Amino acid sequence: MSNESVASRVVRLVTERVPRAEAVTGSAVIRDLGLDSVAVMDLVMAVEDEFDLVFPLDRLGEVETVDDLARVVSGILEQRTAAT
């Protein structure tokens, strides 16, 4: 497990998928970065692999910015820690 924060790992995953070369910030709106609906779902798969978790698709409803995505991931991770 890397020491990189959840937020920066999410930023890295988004950056890898942005079609235009541009710096991705936490406050960036994911759709404005040029990711269509399929690309966003593919991003979710990459997030699941990066953090070894399940990210149900309906939770995308909570995600507009990169920070929102990181927040949902952190929430799922915390829930899992609490459950074990």
Partner 1 sequence: MTLLQHLTPLREALDRLEGANPFDVRFDAVLSPTEGVLHGRPVLLLGTNNYLGLTFDGDCVAAASSSLAGEGTGTTGSRIANGTYGGHHHLEAKLAGFLGRRQAMVFSTGYQANLGMLSSLVGPGDHIVIDADSHASIYDGVRLSPASVTRFRHNDPGDLARRLSRLPSTGNTLIVVEGIYSMLGDRAPLAEIAAIKREHGAHLLVDEAHSLGVLGEHGRGLAEEAGVEAEVDFVVGTFSKSLGAVGGFCASDVDGFELLRLACRPYMFTASLPPSVIASVARALDRLTMEPALRARLADNARRLHAALTAAGFELGADPTPILSIRVPDAGTAIAFWNRLVERGIYINLALPPATPRGLCLLRSSVSAAHEPAQLDAAARVVAEVGAEVGLLGRPRRAVSG
Could you list the residues that contact partner 1 (CB under 8 A)? 36-38, 41-42, 44-45, 48, 52-58
| Cβ proximity to partner 1, 3 vs 37, nearer residue | 37
Total residues found in the chain within this entry: 84
User: Residues near 83 by Cβ (< 8 Å), separated by ≥ 6?
Assistant: none
- Measured CA to CA, the distance from residue 82 to residue 67 in angstroms comes to 22
- Nearer to partner 1 (CB atom), residue 6 or residue 26: 6
Q: Which is nearer to partner 1, 23 or 61 (CB)?
A: 61
What is the nearest approach in angstroms of partner 1 to the Cβ of residue 9? 17
